[in-house]
């Protein structure tokens, strides 16, 4: 049985963590990128389906490939960010279930069931995207998630010939609180969003 | 700028956290439920849209209302769990944007755009479901997320007359490692799921 994490950790993960729009000039190393994945991969998914696929866009060349597909409001901050993760979903995820789920033939639950493939891929790919954000924050990094981009364009540039479709983008680095940081926006109170029955 | 959390925290959140199928007989208090929400609400969503809605099913009466809609494999553990969260999405989420997003008239981006409402609701409702899982773990609780249930049935019983649709369920409590805990299943290696470009 575990104890609650200390307040400083809860702050870092949730309460004082912010979506950054500007970045300090400090590299995110390949080793840090691997560490983010090695945490995020453990988050739970349906039948361990693990449909998230990632491109960590880091080199100037790769940033130029991404640039034409960014919305205007996301352009400058994304070009400036140390790394931009393309969080994507592989809708052929079920082909890996013989490795990922050893208790039953889970692959057979999906083959030919396009509705289940879609709903499982979309739900669990997004869950994993959130685990990625939380993993980066847990490692002392800041995030700037975005959904304003040309998904079809990114898919054609980065995932042609596959069943992989982009879901959202996440800038990752060390946030610059002096640059375009929004005021913290309100959240819904418990009673507006939740009930105990 | 933050530091990486200590290894014990990374273990609790990711590495040794497990999906539990059996629960110790120890209550989850209403105060703990509120604390989970008060952390999870801070996770980032697109335009702060915050579409997740929650029913924390705790009373025996409420458990009986949920029971008919559980798949056989999820029945016993869910009836035994101290709390079962119905993680749902309000597809009328944009009506709250005048409160949640004060920088622009974000409501107008959604009204009449059913495709954007659907994709934003589904993606961000699932992100928030993952924040909920991470928040519960951060508070020392264990989770058992599930997608095996009759969504339409749950929606009719708990969300009739609204635009709220169930997404997945999460049992929450203190996991019993001696009861039906699966062996840890493999995850995809970095190179199978990700690349640095």
Each domain of chain A, given as residue ranges in start order, spans 19-178
Share of chain A above pLDDT 90, in %: 96
pLDDT tens-digit readout, B36-57: 999 999 999 999 999 999 999 9
Record: contact A128-B127, CB cut-off 8 A: no
Q: What is the mean pLDDT of residues B157-178?
A: 97
For residue B169, what are its two tokens? 């369920």
Q: Give residue A180's pLDDT.
A: 85
**Interface predicted TM-score (ipTM) over 0.95:** yes
The overall average pLDDT reported for chain A is 97
- Structure confidence by residue, pLDDT tens digits, A2-27: 999 999 999 999 999 999 999 999 99
Q: Do A185 and B102 lie within an 8 Å CB cutoff?
A: yes
| DSSP tag of A149 | B
CB within 8 Å: B58 and A13: no
Rounded to whole angstroms, the Cα distance separating A15 from B37 reads 12
Confidence band, pLDDT 50/70/90 cuts, at residue B182? confident
Instruction: Give dist(CA A179, CA A77) in Å, integer.
Output: 10
pLDDT at residue number A181: 87
Say whether domain A19-178 belongs to CATH 3.40.50.300.
no
How far is A140 from B26, CA to CA, in rounded Å? 33
Is the predicted pLDDT of residue A169 greater than 90, yes or no?
yes
Q: What is the reported pLDDT for A1?
A: 77
Q: Which of residues 110-139 of B touch A (CB under 8 A)?
A: 120, 122-124, 126-131, 133-135, 137-139
Q: Is B33 touching A (CB cutoff 8 A)?
A: yes
The predicted structure's pLDDT at residue B135? 98
Residues of A in contact with B43 (CB under 8 A): 14, 130, 133-134
The number of helices, as runs of H, and strands, as runs of E, in chain B is 9, 5
Cα distances (Å, whole numbers) of residue B106 to A41, A81, A193, B110, B115: 33, 25, 19, 7, 15
CA distances from A63 to A91, A129, B55, B63 (A): 25, 20, 42, 50
The CB density around residue B148, as the number of other CB atoms within 10 Å, is 15
Read off the pLDDT band of A153 (50, 70, 90): very high
Q: Is B160 on the interface with A (CB under 8 A)?
A: no
Q: What is the model's pTM?
A: 0.98
**Tokens in use for B136?**
């519960």
Mean pLDDT of B118-137: 98
Chain B residues in contact with A147 by the CB 8 A cut-off are 46, 120, 123
* pLDDT(B31) > 90: yes
User: Can you give the pLDDT at residue B1?
Assistant: 77
């Amino acid at each position: 049985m575990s104890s609650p994490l200390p307040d400083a950790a809860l702050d870092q993960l949730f309460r004082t963590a912010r979506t950054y729009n500007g970045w300090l000039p400090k590299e995110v190393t390949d080793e840090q990128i691997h560490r983010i994945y090695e945490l995020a991969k453990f988050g739970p998914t349906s039948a361990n389906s693990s449909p998230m696929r990632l491109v960590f866009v880091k080199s100037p060349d790769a940033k130029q490939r991404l640039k034409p597909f960014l919305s205007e409001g996301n352009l400058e901050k994304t070009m400036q960010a140390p790394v931009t993760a393309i969080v994507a979903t592989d809708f052929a995820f079920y082909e890996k279930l013989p490795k990922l789920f050893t208790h039953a033939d889970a692959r057979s639950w999906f083959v030919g069931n396009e509705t289940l493939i879609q709903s499982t891929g979309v739900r669990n790919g997004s869950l994993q995207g959130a685990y990625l954000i939380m993993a980066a924050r847990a490692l002392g990094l800041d995030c700037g998630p975005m959904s304003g981009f040309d998904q079809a364009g990114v898919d054609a540039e980065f995932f042609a010939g596959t069943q992989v479709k982009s879901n959202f983008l996440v800038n990752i680095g060390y946030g610059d609180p002096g640059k375009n940081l929004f005021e913290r926006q309100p959240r819904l109170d418990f009673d507006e969003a939740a009930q105990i029955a």
